[in-house]
Structure 1
């Protein structure tokens, strides 16, 4: 494999037309220059320079390699300079992955406002399933992950974001027989209910936390894997539902629904921000991490 230092030596000799002058330019000995060129010629098995009076000039093969080396070293220098500038400036790309619900209710809006502040910064948000997000993070396709504690990858630095709470919502402006002060597990089993998918884990967890168990059967009226559409169905009188509190608080239907109150809110677990070790040295990563962790009650 040709080494970058050998290409640098080739370019220096070709431009100086002298081994001794190239040695001065690179601040090395002339013997080091001669040995580097010799090793390069042996590696590719062609002569790269020939004598022309007191000067050394490129052979036709040397001209080809010189052209490639000049372009490569120029691009390498530009890239390294760009990386150094990125370290100290709000430029480049920030890539964040999280679950769809958290992304739609909070992160997408938050990052849109953030991106508008920085003309040279590109913000990329990926919403999806936790397994896909973890794989993307572990292969360095994401700079940040925002996931529940139980879903975090084994690599990366983590910092607490917030605790997600869930709450029961039910229709406000229609006849719905519910007593918030005296609701029972039997009420939950008989009242019209809206589910997030057939196995609604938030509803099941809520029942377990409040009543110690959940009903064997629900009076299911509507099933959809979108908390926003669940809230719309509740508002139209289809039934009650359990949704993340942050989704409700940022919903158009917030003031059109009733809840059972704080007494009946339960924790869905803590969410963490995960980022790659050492990446916080980059200004764009520092700034984004600070913005996310300083957000006021993002999951409440």
Structure 2
């Protein structure tokens, strides 16, 4: 099998266009087209349906793309391991975590990491979907539950709790709830029930709603919940890690909180020796230690 033709096929399948693939490969569209035709002839199969809006993989094309994608991911892993055999910390590090944790806790702390390792290139992927680390959809993950995928190294970073917060100005205008029943008179701001979220947060919201809450604002991530609370729209369900960075928030019904939510850092076993992973892991661990130390000093 001609590896060069497979490389070109993979680029075309990924881009969905001969022109875009040619730009990425620094080849003319006609050169790319010739390579694809030659590959189809060697396989005696049609790999793409061609139409005005671009290219769509045939069933045979999908099978080949699955194979070349796996090859590409394995090659990326090999290159990463080769580069990580050096002592320097540099290159791309793909980090996945939830929108809330990534935007509210991790991103504001990244300047310290870049200051220490200026040649590091972080691709921060914020989404609730759990990416497949063994298949190299990301290099390292921070998640609000223990990862279930095999062949991962796991480190429990901390526990967080969902709590109720509001602006003092909102509470002065609308009253401070003294019991859960008083939530009936307030607007609740929380993640919507269809959003991917930790079960502890969903259970907490379900309990609050048993008290006949009349007004609600639901958002699909905690960053949006925080913005609504900071604009005085009501009482929000938020993770406790936001409070130190937003001291203007006041905790509501302090005896009420969710059960422990474990936060795990995980990465593939094959990246055990990665200098980039080690640098990121140690940085996050140190920041969490400093965060918890500051939290204890202010309580």
State the TM bucket, normalised to the shorter chain: 0.5 to 0.7
Instruction: State the 1:244 CA deviation.
Output: 0.9
Q: 2:166 aligns with which of 165, 170, 186?
A: 170
Residue in 2 that maps onto 1:267:
259
Q: Distance in 2 between matches of 1:85 and 1:142?
A: 16
Instruction: State the 1:289 CA deviation.
Output: 1.5
Residue in 1 that maps onto 2:88:
89
Asked if 2 retains the 8 angstrom alpha-carbon contact of 1:162 and 1:270, the reply is: yes
Instruction: State the 1:216 CA deviation.
Output: 6.5
The verdict on how the C-alpha distance between 1:237 and 1:121 changes in structure 2, with shifts beyond 3 A counting, is: closer
The verdict on how the C-alpha distance between 1:280 and 1:85 changes in structure 2, with shifts beyond 3 A counting, is: closer
Deviations 1:75-114 (A, max 9, x none): xxxx98x925743221222221111111001122223320
Asked if 1 retains the 8 angstrom alpha-carbon contact of 2:189 and 2:225, the reply is: yes
The residue matched to 1:187 in structure 2 has which SS? helix
Asked if 1 retains the 8 angstrom alpha-carbon contact of 2:141 and 2:267, the reply is: yes
Instruction: State the 1:199 CA deviation.
Output: 5.5
Q: Distance in 1 between matches of 2:236 and 2:265?
A: 28
Instruction: State the 1:198 CA deviation.
Output: 4.7
Asked if 2 retains the 8 angstrom alpha-carbon contact of 1:160 and 1:271, the reply is: yes
Q: Distance in 2 between matches of 1:250 and 1:100?
A: 16
Asked if 2 retains the 8 angstrom alpha-carbon contact of 1:157 and 1:276, the reply is: yes
Measured on the aligned residues, the alpha-carbon RMSD in Å equals 3.3
Moved over 4 A (4+): 198-204, 297-300
Residue in 1 that maps onto 2:239:
244
Residue in 2 that maps onto 1:233:
228
Q: Distance in 1 between matches of 2:118 and 2:189?
A: 43
Residue in 1 that maps onto 2:281:
289
Q: Distance in 1 between matches of 2:83 and 2:256?
A: 52
Q: Over alpha carbons, which structure has the higher Rg?
A: 1
Residue 116 (str. 1) matches residue 115 (str. 2) = yes
Deviations 1:129-167 (A, max 9, x none): 233x2x2x1311321111122554233010101111121
Deviations 1:186-223 (A, max 9, x none): 22234222232256866642367xx7x75174222423
Asked if 1 retains the 8 angstrom alpha-carbon contact of 2:201 and 2:258, the reply is: no
Residue in 1 that maps onto 2:217:
222
Q: Which runs of 5+ in 2 are unaligned?
A: 3-77
Q: 1:279 aligns with which of 271, 280, 284?
A: 271
Instruction: State the 1:264 CA deviation.
Output: 2.6
Q: How many residues align?
A: 212
The verdict on how the C-alpha distance between 1:95 and 1:234 changes in structure 2, with shifts beyond 3 A counting, is: closer
Q: TM-score, normalised by structure 2?
A: 0.60
Asked if 2 retains the 8 angstrom alpha-carbon contact of 1:130 and 1:151, the reply is: no
Instruction: State the 1:225 CA deviation.
Output: 2.6
Q: TM-score, normalised by structure 1?
A: 0.59
